[in-house]
Structure formats: structure tokens, C-alpha cells
Amino acid sequence: MKITNHALLRMQQRGIEESSVASAIMNPDKIGDSFGRRKLVQKAIGDKTLEVV
């Protein structure tokens, strides 16, 4: 798993822990296509949905 500096900054601003991102990647609720060859994963965390590209 590679987290860019930009993503780390956004995670810090939004109060998202790295373990939540890892959980979304390893055990997503939903997987869809993103741009290029990237995938978008979604994971329900409490009453919110975390999206990771």
C-alpha cells in the first residue's frame, strides 16, 4: 500500500487513520472503476463511507 504525501495531508485534515484506509483496501464493501487503470473502493466506517482510489 502506497500513501502519497498529499493523501496523508488530506487524511490528517479529515481525521482519517491509516488503519481505516488499510481496512477499506483489504476488505472493501464495494469496488468500482476509477480513472485510468485505478480502482475505487468504498468502506462504511460508522455512519460515513470512506472512498479510496
pLDDT in tens, the chain (53 residues): 889 999 999 999 999 999 999 999 999 999 999 999 999 999 999 999 999 99
- For cell 470512506, the residue is 50
Phi–psi pair at 18, nearest 5 degrees = -60, -30
| pLDDT the model gives residue 2 | 87
Give the three cell numbers for residue 21. 484506509
pTM, whole model, 2 decimals? 0.82
